[in-house]
């Protein structure tokens, strides 16, 4: 059974609809961790290296997604402000005609 369904169900039960992305993200990490554990069952050194690599990759993806999300929300706020300003200027110009 994929772990992602379990995390989404738990998140839906406790009202974490905004954070369902993170539940899927964490469950993908666990699934990859279990797959790596299954493949490298008796090779401890390779297993530790792959776990560190997986953790580093997932941390990098998580940090980059947070940075990109903040950038786009900031860009959206600026766009909303500019649209309101343009609407005000156009209403002033219409009033003078």
Instruction: Write the pLDDT tens digit of every residue in 16-66.
Output: 666 667 767 777 777 777 777 777 777 777 777 878 888 888 888 878 877
The confidence score (pLDDT) of residue 3 equals 65
The confidence score (pLDDT) of residue 17 equals 64
The confidence score (pLDDT) of residue 5 equals 67
Number of folded domains that form the chain: 1
Contact 63, 92 (CB under 8 A): no
Look-up of token digits 């993908």? 28
Range of the domain at 47: 3-96
Please state, as a whole number, how many other Cβ atoms lie within 10 Å of the Cβ of residue 31.
13
């Amino acid at each position: 059974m994929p772990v992602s369904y379990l995390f989404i169900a738990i998140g839906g039960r406790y009202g974490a609809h905004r954070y369902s992305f993170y539940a899927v993200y964490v469950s993908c990490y666990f699934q990859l961790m279990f797959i790596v554990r299954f493949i490298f069952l008796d090779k401890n050194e390779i297993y530790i290296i792959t776990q560190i690599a997986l953790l580093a990759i997932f941390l990098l993806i998580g940090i980059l997604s947070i940075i990109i999300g903040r950038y786009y929300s900031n860009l959206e706020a600026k766009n909303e402000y500019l649209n309101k300003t343009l609407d005000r200027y156009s209403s002033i110009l219409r009033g003078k005609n």
